[in-house]
Amino acid sequence: MSYLVKMIPLKKTSENYLKSKTSNVNLSSKQHMYTSFDDIPDKIIRLLKSHQSEFISGEYIGRSLGLSRAAVWKNIKKLQSLGYKIRSKQKFGYRLIAKTNLMLPWEISDGLQTETIGRKIYYFNTIDSTQNFALKISSKPHENGTIIISERQTHGRGRQNKKWVSPSGGIWLSVILKPNFEISQASLFPMLASLALCVAIEKVLNLKPKLKWPNDLTLDDKKVAGILVDASIESNQIDYLIIGVGINFKIQPSKITKIVKSSENFYGVTTLVGKKEESRPVLLLQTFLYEFEQLYDKLVANKLHGIKNEWEKRSSTIGKNVSISSPNGEIKGRVLGIDDDGALLVSSKGRTQRLQVGDISYQI
Ligand code: BTN
């Protein structure tokens, strides 16, 4: 967990200045941003989806949405450039043939079963870090539950100030939460997020990832996802939390390994889905958001019992002999379990030590 926060004011420029209902965002020429409140592409896609077996005319779309035919055409072009296969036929109009694989906001919203988390979405094709963007907007009102997602990141951040390599094919996501809690409870959020992600992967992909303390997800003992939490506090209360979730959904592990193999405590990287496999990142994302909200609601209602057991059940860490690099130096011992706050309990030199942060390596 890292405690923050320096706020960086947003600059306005006349070029690349994207007007949206709640924020002014400065974009580079290669960057595109879409939001769940940019409603034109969303509405056109909805119309096309509800008439998938037939063509609908530009005039009909225009009339339904209060747009000129030229504006309809422009938006159809935009949707095609985003990977939707839309056939256009003179005198007949447009027909949706296939959806995009991109995690566009209206695709995430379509079928999302949450009340709060993910109801407002910022989407980028590329960004430095979704976590950094979240930091810029999180002090604004109405951002509780907002998510920021990007197809790739140029400066992704990992735990303990490590670089997080984030090529296209991964799911790089930040969730803003403003819980009315004391700071001592912030350590529960990485535990909730990692458990929710594990459950979502089990349900959607039928895989059984393991949890490696504090909050790595592994497959075949290699890292497949990680969680980073940035917290802003004000007189012992949580002001906001930003839960960063990095999922190696459909990546080439060798490309990431090449870049990070010499970093401390590196133990290998893997991918959830192979290069040639069919994949539905949006479904995994929606399921994760739902599972996370369920756990979050339980935390708010103080009904968290059972969560620790669910986490421990999936853990590869319990019972292992480990070496831990912690702020207090290196500790060697045997892991007994985690406590209700998600801290690691280690038997070392005849006594039980409680650790809240650190990186562990398993000893053979
Ligand atoms: C870890 O080190 O295990 C945590 C990695 C967290 C990476 C995610 S990707 C989305 C979000 N944006 C970032 O820059 N980092 C987090």
If one residue of 164, 213, 242 were mutated to test the ligand 1 pocket, choosing by the most ligand atoms within 8 A of its CB, it would be 164
Domains of the chain, each with CATH number or no CATH = 5-28+118-313 (3.30.930.10), 37-98 (1.10.10.10), 321-362 (2.30.30.100)
pLDDT at 6 over 90: no
The answer to whether the CB of 156 is under 6 A from ligand 1 is yes
pLDDT given at position 2: 62
Each residue of 254-311: pLDDT tens digit? 999 999 998 888 999 999 999 989 899 999 999 999 999 999 999 988 887 889 999 9
> Mean pLDDT across the stretch 174-183?
94
> How do residues 186-212 score in pLDDT, each as one tens digit?
889 999 999 999 999 999 999 999 999
Rounded to the nearest whole angstrom, what is the distance from the C-alpha of residue 294 to the centroid of ligand 1?
22
- Separation CA 238–CA 144 (nearest Å): 13
Query: Mean pLDDT for the chain?
Result: 91
The yes-or-no verdict on residue 13 having pLDDT over 80 is no
Residue 134 contacts residue 174 (beta carbons within 8 Å) = yes
Atom of ligand 1 nearest to the CA of 156: 14
Q: How far is the CA of 131 from the centre of ligand 1 (A)?
A: 7
Distance from the CA of 155 to the center of ligand 1, in angstroms? 10
Residue 1 has pLDDT above 80, yes or no: no
Q: How confident is the model at residue 185 (pLDDT cuts 50, 70, 90)?
A: confident
Residue 79's Cβ-side half-sphere holds a number of Cα atoms within 13 Å equal to 32
Q: Region 57-69: what's the mean pLDDT?
A: 95
Give the mean pLDDT of 1-8.
47
Q: How confident is the model at residue 364 (pLDDT cuts 50, 70, 90)?
A: confident
Q: CB of 246 closer than 6 A to ligand 1?
A: yes
- Tell me, what's the pLDDT at 141? 87
Q: What is the mean pLDDT of residues 15-21?
A: 31
What band does 10 get if pLDDT is binned at 50, 70 and 90?
Answer: very low
Å from CA of 260 to ligand 1 middle? 14
pLDDT (average), residues 247-253? 98
Indicate the pTM of the whole model.
Answer: 0.92
Probe residue for ligand 1, chosen from 172, 249, 265 as the CB with the greatest number of ligand atoms within 8 Å: 172
* Per-residue pLDDT at 215 exceeds 60: yes
Could you tell me if the CB of 308 is within 6 A of ligand 1? no
Ligand 1 binding pocket includes 145 (Cβ within 6 Å): no
* pLDDT tier at 15, thresholds 50, 70, 90: very low
Task: Give the rounded percent of residues in the chain with a pLDDT score beyond 90.
Answer: 79
The string of pLDDT tens digits covering residues 223-248 is 999 999 999 998 889 999 999 999 99
Return the minimum-mean-pLDDT range out of 1-5, 77-81, 136-140, 192-196. Answer: 1-5
> For residues 189 and 174, is the Cβ–Cβ distance under 8 A?
no
Kindly report, residue by residue over 85-143, the tens digit of the pLDDT: 999 999 999 999 999 999 999 999 999 999 999 999 999 999 999 999 999 999 998 99
| Residue 242 beta carbon below 6 angstroms from any ligand 1 atom | no
Answer whether 339's CB lies under 8 Å from 318's CB. no
**The predicted structure's pLDDT at residue 4:** 53
